[in-house]
Structures are given as structure tokens and as C-alpha cells.
Amino acid sequence: MDNNNLAQITFGGGCFWCVESCFNMLKGVQSAISGYSGGHKDNPTYEEVCTGETGHAEVVQITYDPAIISYEQLMDVFFFLHDPTQLNRQGNDIGTQYRSVIYYKDDAEKAKAEEAIEMSKQSGRWQGTYVTELTKFDKFWPAEQYHQGYYNENPTQPYCSAVVGPKIQKFKKHFGELGMLND
């Protein structure tokens, strides 16, 4: 990858353990880092974010090469991995920290995000009203080190084996067939 031409995107689609591991498998993604955005407290901890009182969402910040994978393809993966019609939750994960949110950096990126939402709606993948927030990016706080690559390090942990693992298998099947995964 050409490090001079890398771009970043930050979004939240529920538990970051579910999202981060999938994005790290994609061709063109240099890194997907679990963290927090959208809140009012500097350098929040996982425990603080879990209270719902800091205003942060669990997010993944993705650094990628647009010459290999496009913003639109990343958005397709984003909408594949979570249900954008569930307000402040994904499955049994409930709270504002699990909200569906896209953080944009400028008006052009906001327009692309709006277009991605419309494309996802038109796909018919999800039924119901989309609740995905579009929010101006401010800061990203990396989550504690033990959250990075959590699924890969803890695949037999009960939440990982019951929730994350099946989601990853579905992701690998779909995006593997499209040739989008690293070898």
C-alpha cells in the first residue's frame, strides 16, 4: 500500500469487537482500530463508555488505500455488518454506545455517506427506518490495548463464540466470494 495516499473513516456499528476484526481482513485496509468517538470526555475508558454517560460510541477507525478499496465498498461492508434500523443497540448490546453512526470529515464525505445510506436502503437488506447518525468527526480515542484484535485473541470467550464468530463467518463467506479478503 502507498502510505502517502491512505485515507481514514470512522464509524460505529455496535460492538467494536464484531466490526474491527472483519475490516482488518479486507484487501486495502491497512488497519482497523477499536475506539471511541462522539462523546464529551477526553480519553474515556471502556468502563466509562459502557455507562452511556460519556456520549461516546464504540467505533472503528479504518485506515485504507482508496486505490485498492473504495469508500463505497467500505460502506457496503459497514451496512452488511450491523442493522442500521436498530436505535442504540445491536442485538442484545443495548445503549447509546452501540449506536449506528458515520463520522464524516467534510461536506464531500458527508454527501458520500448520505449516498451510501440511500444505497443500503435501496438494497432491501434491512427493513425499517434507518437510524444511522451522520456526525461531524471530532476526535478518536483508541480503546484499551486488550480490545485491539479481541476476537482473534479470545475466540472461545462466550460472547465471541456466540455473537462475533457467526457474524465473521457470514462476512467471510459473502466478501470472500467477492474476492475482497486478504489471502
- Residue 129 pLDDT class (50, 70, 90 cuts): very high
Residue 2, pLDDT > 70, answer no
Could you confirm whether 22 is annotated as catalytic?
Answer: no
Catalytic residue among 15, 18, 22, 160: 15
Q: What is the pLDDT of residue 1?
A: 62
Q: Is residue 2 part of a domain?
A: no
The total of structural domains in the chain comes to: 1
Q: Is residue 151 part of a domain?
A: yes
**What nine digits make up the cell of 161?**
463464540
Identify the domain containing residue 97 by its residue range.
7-178
Residue 111, pLDDT > 70, answer yes
Cα dihedral 36, 136, 171, 128 in deg (nearest 10) = 110
| Mean pLDDT for the stretch of residues 66-90 | 97
Q: What is the mean pLDDT of the chain?
A: 96
pTM, full prediction: 0.95
CATH number (domain holding residue 132)? 3.30.1060.10
